[in-house]
Amino acid sequence: MDSIRIVGGHELNGTIPISGAKNAALPLMIASLLTDDTLTLENVPHLADVEQLIRILSNHGVDYAVKGRRRAEGQGYARTVDFTARDIVDITAPYELVSKMRASFWVIGPLLARMGEARVSLPGGCAIGTRPVDLFIEVLEALGAQIEIENGYVHATAGSGLTGAHYRFPKVSVGATHVALMAASLANGQTVIDNAACEPEVVCLAECLNAMGAKIEGAGTRTITIDGVTSLSGARHRVIADRIETGTYAMAVGMTGGNVLLKGAEASSWQTAVDVLGETGIDITAEEDGLRVYRNGNGLKAADVTTEPFPGFPTDLQAQFMGLMTKANGVSHITETIFENRFMHVQELARLGADITLNGQTATVTGVPVLKGAPVMATDLRASVSLVIAGLAAEGETRVNRVYHLDRGFERLEEKLGACGAEIARVSG
């Protein structure tokens, strides 16, 4: 099993290209099930989760073609992919596929809307909590679906088609908002979704669906209105830049010091985190082709964060921020409100010398002057990269094991960091 070897103590200087957002690419790919025309997506990242979803969509009958395959593979970034679901050959998403990636459950929305039936495996638990699918089921039932759960599968039917409705989510869910938008786009009549997720990835999906002929208003606000249409066409759409990757590399620069241009990044998609990083002493300024991140030699200041739905501090940057705060001057408090069990990186950071105590969903981090390299074990995607960030600033060698987690969400991470001066390499076996 691969690992990543890091020798800390090197400033980061140079340019890091920001890839397309995984969290935007996945629902966009699933939206291809809504039409028998071709959906062309630009700026698709080359990630394990993307490749897994391609296999899942292929199981349903989606054909795909990567444009400029050889050139794209040589560069490693920004692929353009055609998805064509001319014929849906299977309305079942089996456990052996869905269990490998929770987002694949989202196919239930477009399959039900287009075919009148979907049978999708329950995804099961994951490393950062149970993340149940009750909100997905509730919104589909509000749209007129009949739902049965049998033998570990959600069987949804709508023989006469889905019907528009007014539904309010009891709590914000990005995934369930994605499913609601896709299902309601082909429903009969108008749907109003209250307490919808406002994330940029939701806006990206809505813009793509509108380009396909949907009638969606209000994406990016808590209330979204969808006027159903009888069919959708193909379209061409670009995956937005990954705000989580952007924030991760900004914190890496903060951890090591240096000066890096995050090419293609923008601040508006993660402004709350930008403001927090400013409090710690990291300077982030907008330039014509991205964001410039700089930290001088004055050290980091401690800051407190609480994760919240957009536009709050993203839960997907919580682990990275904890890694950053391990070397800050003072005491910081990090409260996780989105997912349970999302502090599994704490014990691994402690192996590097971090001083962290837990009290329920709040971690108290007392900055230390020195971290020291050690072997650590990745537990999930964001925890993995928090260990990389800490390793970049630790004295000596850090070995991050089980890095297949990183491959799910970070495109060529070691190459991007290595090009800016980090001593980092993937070790096979």
Residues belonging to the binding site for phosphoenolpyruvate are 22-23
Instruction: Provide φ and ψ at 369, rounded to 5°.
Output: -70, -30
> Residue 80: which residues within 8 A CB-CB, separation 6 or more?
40, 41, 42, 43, 44, 66, 67, 68, 72
Residues 61, 51, 268: CA angle, nearest 5 degrees: 110
User: How many C-beta atoms lie closer than 10 Å to residue 359's C-beta?
Assistant: 9
Strand partners, 215: 227
Binding residues for UDP-N-acetyl-alpha-D-glucosamine: 102, 131-135, 171-174, 316, 338
β 362-366/355-359 pair status = antiparallel
C-beta separation of 379 from 129 below 8 A: no
Residues that are catalytic? 126
Round to whole Å and give the CA distance between 127 and 341.
7
Taking a C-beta distance cutoff of 8 angstroms, is the pair 305, 334 a contact?
A: yes
Of 390, 303, 380, 386, nearest to 340 by C-alpha is: 380
Q: What is the rounded distance in angstroms from the CA atom of residue 217 to the CA atom of residue 233? A: 18
Note whether 128 and 381 are within 8 A (CB).
Answer: no
Q: Across 45-97, where does the E strand assignment appear? A: 63-67, 79-84, 92-93
Which amino acids are annotated as binding site, given as ranges? 22-23, 102, 131-135, 171-174, 316, 338
Q: Round to whole Å and give the CA distance between 290 and 264.
A: 5
CA distance 219 to 229: 17
Q: How far apart (Å, rounded) are the C-alpha atoms in residues 347 and 332?
A: 17
SS3 328: coil
